Amino acid sequence: YNTDMAALGRPFNLGMFYDCRSDELIPGITLWDKETLDRDMKVKPQPNTEVKIVASESISDKSSSLGVEASLKASFLSGLVSVEGSAKYLNDNKKSTKQARVSLQYKTTTVFKQLTMDQLGIENITHSEVLEKGLATHVVTGILYGAQAFFVFDQETSEDERVQDIQGSLKVMIKKIPTITIEGSGDLKMEDKDRENMNKFSCSFHGDFLLEKSPTMFEEAVKVYQDLPKLLGPNKENVVPVTVYLLPLTTLDSKASKLVRQISLRLVTEAENILEGFTDLEIWCNDVLKSPTGQNFPQLSQKIGTFKSLCSEFKLGLQRTLSQKLPLIRGGGEGEEALAEVLKKVAQGPFSSRRLKQWMKDKDEEVNTIKTLVKLINTETVSSENALTNKVCDSEKALVFVLTSLDSTESFLSELDQQLKGSKSDSSDAPEPRRWYSSKDVFYSVRRKAKFFSDFAEANKNKDRKSLRFLVVGLADKNQEGSAIYLYEDGFRVSENVKLPSKPEAVTVGEVTHNTVSLHFSAPSKGRTASLNTEWSSVRKERRNGTKNRRLIVGRTDRLIKPKHKDSMNCVLGVLLGLSHAEAGLFTVRVRCSVCSCLHRCKGLNQRL
């Protein structure tokens, strides 16, 4: 029986030997001599052109667009088949989940060439030794010629954009490519809004056409698309095999090697899902490594990089095993259960999709936690201890918010490493250590410190960096889980456990006269307090200084002189930190006062923390 197969850019010729067990061409020899092939070859025109959009990135859909059936797909996935030309599209995967992608496929066929029945007799065989040695299972008896091209359009999405929405916009634009005309000036004739959108995405090209330059932008892609029919040549001579038709050698000689069995669709799909899972994990890792969090915290990116390398190594090993098993099963040397056992071990081992995804989900949680904290603190982040040293040496004082548990032990990575080395790890039975970001108590403490740090930095944002600066860094500190606040003076670390003050527990209003306001203060529950600043300001004007450096007297009332204004005013309490007996910054609490038109009476004073 005859079977057809996608050529995938491979150099097929009529009469060529092919081994379906390993999906391998036997180059250099043909079953019949060239004169015989040329004399009785039948040629039939078969013109056809198709254009379609491919929006899916799955191996299954990409293979389907190239006409790749299950058995050949298994060989491609295992590395038995190397692809060229337009088939390189199979290897073009997205690099990021934030990447919107839509592809335009152009496919044309021109002519079908096949051998006649006169040539298929055993007496016409030239190289019978190929049959005797069992080097091949099939011979090429027909080839459909043509060419294909894939224009792959990509656009990076921002934080507030959905990939699906951008992908939808891409599809709308790409559908218009066959109808876009090129004006005499060489410009594309299109609406202004489309012209604006086309500059947002890039293009890559995979095709069987010889181009002077591959398109990288939408406008270039349109021009190349318009030229594709011309690139086939005046006589359609610039074509390649698109589909090949194979005849089993057993029809010519019953002693020839044969394809005993094909791999079942169930096992091919299972292997496909496993290998595609590794591709998805690689994309996931790339997103973390390229993110600001991944770049600013090397402890995290190092773990992700190690995980990515281990997965890549295992994937290559699995592909190597598959490339050995597939020919044996197809040739009858082993049963399908051998492949099923390989896939079962993967599913039950540490490299199972479930366990790998769970580890990455945990890392994603850590990344998002760090991202939230950095956003809350809203100050400069440094990526290493060396960079931190350079920063703190430039300031008299520096307060540094330190994430202390980013380099915690990852037993799962050790387990993966041991699996690759062929030894069983005991870590699979050991409970996972507590993660700082998943422990409610630890995370609450970290977030509370981050909030104090953020408020303190905000109150001092107008200070010169030479006198005081605020930084965030990831450093190992086994003594403080989750986070710590370090103080540096003149480049030297003088404290590793700074307690920033919280806002005063209570600010109550006492007697209000025509020229004074009495305020009663309670000490902050956190941190040391040295003195108190108070300021009045008009709503319509910038803050104006009032009484300064008043000593905080807990449980007593402080009487302040009230300015003679009818406007609403702010009373600002400033708590000075006593750090090494030096002023480190200003921490503020605002109390809003609404003053009536009468200078002798006040309608009320409302506290706002």
**Would 500 be classed as within a structural domain?**
no
When pLDDT is averaged across residues 289-305 and rounded to a whole number, the result is: 95
pLDDT tens digits along 207-220: 999 999 999 999 99
| Spatial contact of 596 and 604, defined as CB atoms under 8 Å apart | no
Q: What is the mean pLDDT of the chain?
A: 83
Determine the distance from the C-alpha atom of residue 350 to the mean position of all C-alpha atoms in its chain, rounded to a whole number: 22
**Does residue 561 register a pLDDT over 60?**
no
Please tell me whether residues 245 and 284 are part of one structural domain. no
pLDDT at position 601 is: 32
Please tell me whether residues 115 and 210 are part of one structural domain. yes
pLDDT tens digits along 2-17: 789 999 999 999 999 9
Least confident of 171-185, 221-235, 425-439: 425-439
**Would 415 be classed as within a structural domain?**
yes
Residue labelled with tokens 């010169």: 464
The angle subtended at Cα 404 by Cα 399 and Cα 406, nearest 5°, is: 130
pLDDT at position 44 is: 95
Helices marked H in 404-494 — which ranges? 411-420, 440-459
Please tell me whether residues 319 and 398 are part of one structural domain. yes
pLDDT tens digits along 399-438: 999 999 999 989 999 999 999 998 766 555 556 677 899 8
Enter the DSSP assignment of 254: T
**Would 502 be classed as within a structural domain?**
no
Structural domain count, the chain: 3
pLDDT tens digits along 478-492: 999 999 999 999 999
Please tell me whether residues 406 and 519 are part of one structural domain. no
Domain end among 495, 515, 531: 495
Please tell me whether residues 345 and 424 are part of one structural domain. yes
When pLDDT is averaged across residues 190-198 and rounded to a whole number, the result is: 75
DSSP 159-193: TT--HHHHHHHHHHHHHTGGG-EE-TTS-EE--HH
Please tell me whether residues 283 and 212 are part of one structural domain. no
Diameter over CA atoms, the chain: 124
Q: Which residues contact 70 (CB under 8 A, 6 or more apart)?
A: 262, 263, 265, 268, 269
Domain end among 448, 463, 495: 495
pLDDT tens digits along 361-410: 999 999 999 999 999 999 999 999 999 999 999 999 999 999 999 999 89
pLDDT at position 574 is: 44
pLDDT at position 583 is: 36
**Would 396 be classed as within a structural domain?**
yes
pTM of the model: 0.82
Report the C-alpha gap between 238 and 223 in whole angstroms. Answer: 19
Q: Which helix (H) or strand (E) holds 493?
A: strand 492-495
pLDDT tens digits along 304-313: 999 999 999 9
In 357-482, at which residue ranges do the beta strands (DSSP E only) sit? 380-381, 397-403, 468-474
Domain end among 259, 285, 316: 259
pLDDT band at 158 (very low <50, low <70, confident <90, very high): confident
pLDDT band at 540 (very low <50, low <70, confident <90, very high): very low
Please tell me whether residues 558 and 535 are part of one structural domain. yes
**Would 184 be classed as within a structural domain?**
yes
Report the C-alpha gap between 599 and 478 in whole angstroms. Answer: 59
**Would 601 be classed as within a structural domain?**
yes
Please tell me whether residues 252 and 395 are part of one structural domain. no
Domain of residue 561, CATH code: 2.60.40
Helices marked H in 402-540 — which ranges? 411-420, 440-459
Please tell me whether residues 126 and 39 are part of one structural domain. yes
DSSP 440-465: HHHHHHHHHHHHHHHHHHHHTTTS-T
When pLDDT is averaged across residues 253-282 and rounded to a whole number, the result is: 92
Range of the domain at 277: 267-495
